Amino acid sequence: MSGGKETDIAREAEALEQEMATVAEKKIAVEKRVRELMASEDPRAGVSYAQEIFAAKQEKLTLATQHEVLRRRRNRLLMEL
């Protein structure tokens, strides 16, 4: 019976790892977007993307937090094995 529990834990840990990978990919995309927005700003011409940059940075922080939560959940599960 414990083999079933270990299998369930392993499956859940794998699902968490996949979710972590997805969140990491999204975070990389958001970081790229921030760099693109910052590079395309031109203060002399009055081109500014402050709100978009701020929103993207907030999203990046949210994704980093989600990744950390998922990592800790996975580690707690693996400790039970």
Contact 52, 37 (CB under 8 A): yes
> What's the pLDDT score for residue 2?
56
The percent helix, strand, coil of the chain (3-state, each to 5) is: 90, 0, 10
- Whole-angstrom Cα distance, residue 10 to residue 80? 10
> pLDDT tens-digit profile of 26-46?
999 999 999 999 999 999 999
Task: Please give the radius of gyration of the chain, using alpha carbons only, rounded to the nearest integer.
Answer: 19
In the predicted model, is pLDDT for residue 48 greater than 90?
yes
Question: What pLDDT is stored for residue 1 in this prediction?
Answer: 44
